[in-house]
Chains A and B, each alone.
Chain A
């Protein structure tokens, strides 16, 4: 019997010397484990990776070296402590991977291109006009192509894929232009065929929660109740970093649509409400009353949940200005002592940015 120790070497992971991302198939479990830790923490040392994964220093060394060669992670400056050898922090290389995220709302479609740490490199909003009943297809595809073209050609091989966040809420689907549902169902295949990158699909609220978990304020939270403030108020429960995606989750009519109705009653302009990245003017009494109603609904959701799960953290994510979310969080914290309410920090397009996180989690992280 041959001595298998001296069979041809079978490298654990020799990074492809060509630039660009390695094939999906070669990314082993341990490597995903290491990348997951890096996605969860800003800086981490090889020693900490070993301690948290149970992998040997030598295995960590091999994985880290190949990830470095692939350009996915970068070494920081050595930190000299008072005792022991200096430590070298590792972090994700922002330019190591890119991803396109698309969210389809009832009024507009958003397309973002984000880097490996979730910074938006390109952002576009398309009106989802009810007039274009059949399709807004060419416009939609060209917006995706444009987002990709915004990235220099030599980095295109670093695009991990396209994430698509689709609404699942029955009431919001009713608001979309006619036959939208059927169009959504066909989108994945169409985008994959025409743009040529793998497409990953998820419910839009779950995607937004994933975005805050991966890139935003919820990075270090393992258990929390996630609220998304859109046209309506949505929620998801996150336990042990796992987002529970219930079909038929209930949404509440205390969202921005509700505020719009109140403001319209006063005969005021409301277009700012639906803009991305714009500050809201003060809407006075109507806004204060709405905030109170919204916080009240959040409070009763939390109270109901607390009977089963000891939840203490709440994240409120929205495309609405962060100042508005912060005010709502303050309102909620006052009404519920012991609850820590945090406004999400993915501004402009939490759903689209969350969608862009899907190719990353699917290609680089453990389940």
Chain B
């Protein structure tokens, strides 16, 4: 049995576009659920999606618990042993309160990768496979979120390249979610059920393509 941790924000939590964190797609509709179905038996998929989660930043408004870095360690230890950690974060870091360019968000992704490498929650205390997933770019029309995310849509289009540069330099897997899905126009930055299905299928193929030796 191989364990995969899906570490993300509201788009991993399965928040319905235009809804609140309590409006959530069902377990089978969310991308981790779709991916689990696609991968089939022999895989244990763990969902860890929190609405508003950032990469490394305490949110002065929403709370320190939105910091993806401080929660990552207990989370990894809770779910170890892990064969693969998939991280899809970055959109919330583009909130105007953080005032960060895309490249800094990518540096923060790098921090999370270092933390995983340091903690070694893989089989036998090894470093697990790590996959950085860049979130799909935000749409230009983000409705009532335009003040909170002022300037963010433009920055979000640069995340994929910045994340790929970090993934290359730290030698981890990378996938651009924007290559298979777009955000829903209802709020401009959440993905709908159809997109969850496409993303889950695409990520299952990426996970398989890593190449897994036969389990002893």
Residues of A at under 8 Å CB distance from B?
Answer: 5-6, 9-14, 45-51, 56-62, 65-66, 75, 78, 83-88
Question: Known contacts being A6-B107, A11-B168, A62-B168, is A78 close to B210, with CB within 8 Å?
Answer: no
Question: Known contacts being A14-B168, A58-B171, A66-B168, is A46 close to B209, with CB within 8 Å?
Answer: yes
Q: Are A60 and B129 in contact (CB under 8 A)?
A: no
Q: Is the interface of B mostly helix, strand, loop or mixed?
A: helix
A206-B106 Cα distance, complex, nearest whole Å: 49
Closest residue on chain B to residue A5 by CB atoms? B114
Q: Are B173 and A87 in contact (CB under 8 A)?
A: no
Sampled A-B contacts (26; CB under 8 Å): A5-B114, A6-B110, A9-B106, A9-B107, A9-B169, A10-B169, A11-B164, A11-B165, A12-B169, A13-B168, A14-B164, A46-B211, A47-B212, A51-B213, A58-B173, A61-B172, A75-B209, A84-B212, A85-B42, A85-B207, A85-B208, A85-B212, A87-B208, A87-B211, A88-B205, A88-B209
Question: Known contacts being A46-B211, A60-B211, A78-B208, is A12 close to B171, with CB within 8 Å?
Answer: yes
B164: A residues at CB distance < 8 A:
11, 14
A144-B151 Cα distance, complex, nearest whole Å: 53
Residues of B at under 8 Å CB distance from A?
Answer: 39, 42, 106-107, 110-111, 114, 129-130, 164-174, 205, 207-214
Question: Known contacts being A6-B110, A6-B111, A85-B39, is A45 close to B169, with CB within 8 Å?
Answer: no
A83-B214 Cα distance, complex, nearest whole Å: 9
Q: Are B208 and A86 in contact (CB under 8 A)?
A: yes
Ranked nearest first, the 6 interchain pairs of A and B with the lowest CB-CB distance are: A47-B211, A11-B168, A9-B169, A46-B211, A85-B208, A61-B173
**Other A-B pairs beyond A46-B210, A49-B211, 9, CB < 8 Å:** A6-B107, A9-B166, A14-B165, A47-B211, A47-B213, A48-B211, A56-B171, A84-B214, A88-B208
Q: Are A62 and B171 in contact (CB under 8 A)?
A: yes
In the complex, how many angstroms separate the beta carbon of B52 from the nearest chain A beta carbon?
25
A10-B167 Cα distance, complex, nearest whole Å: 10
B170: A residues at CB distance < 8 A:
9
A5: B residues at CB distance < 8 A:
110, 114
Question: Known contacts being A9-B165, A14-B164, A62-B167, is A50 close to B208, with CB within 8 Å?
Answer: no
A57-B212 Cα distance, complex, nearest whole Å: 9
In the complex, how many angstroms separate the beta carbon of A311 from the nearest chain B beta carbon?
35
A84: B residues at CB distance < 8 A:
212, 214
In the complex, how many angstroms separate the beta carbon of A2 from the nearest chain B beta carbon?
13
Closest residue on chain B to residue A47 by CB atoms? B211
Closest residue on chain B to residue A65 by CB atoms? B174
In the complex, how many angstroms separate the beta carbon of A64 from the nearest chain B beta carbon?
9
A222-B170 Cα distance, complex, nearest whole Å: 35
In the complex, how many angstroms separate the beta carbon of A291 from the nearest chain B beta carbon?
49
A269-B210 Cα distance, complex, nearest whole Å: 61
B211: A residues at CB distance < 8 A:
45-50, 57, 60, 87
A84-B130 Cα distance, complex, nearest whole Å: 20
In the complex, how many angstroms separate the beta carbon of B215 from the nearest chain A beta carbon?
8
Q: Are A58 and B165 in contact (CB under 8 A)?
A: no
A85-B4 Cα distance, complex, nearest whole Å: 14
Closest residue on chain A to residue B2 by CB atoms? A85
Q: Are B165 and A57 in contact (CB under 8 A)?
A: no
Q: Are B209 and A59 in contact (CB under 8 A)?
A: no
B173: A residues at CB distance < 8 A:
57-58, 61-62
A50-B168 Cα distance, complex, nearest whole Å: 17
B212: A residues at CB distance < 8 A:
47, 84-85
Choose among B107, B110, B174, B209 the residue with the greatest number of A CB atoms under 10 Å from its CB. Answer: B209
B130: A residues at CB distance < 8 A:
58
A60: B residues at CB distance < 8 A:
211
Q: Are B168 and A12 in contact (CB under 8 A)?
A: yes
Closest residue on chain A to residue B174 by CB atoms? A65
Choose among A14, A45, A62, A86 the residue with the greatest number of B CB atoms under 10 Å from its CB. Answer: A62
Closest residue on chain A to residue B205 by CB atoms? A78
Closest residue on chain B to residue A83 by CB atoms? B214
In the complex, how many angstroms separate the beta carbon of B179 from the nearest chain A beta carbon?
11
A62-B167 Cα distance, complex, nearest whole Å: 8
A49-B210 Cα distance, complex, nearest whole Å: 11
B106: A residues at CB distance < 8 A:
9
Choose among B130, B165, B207, B211 the residue with the greatest number of A CB atoms under 10 Å from its CB. Answer: B211
A78: B residues at CB distance < 8 A:
205, 208
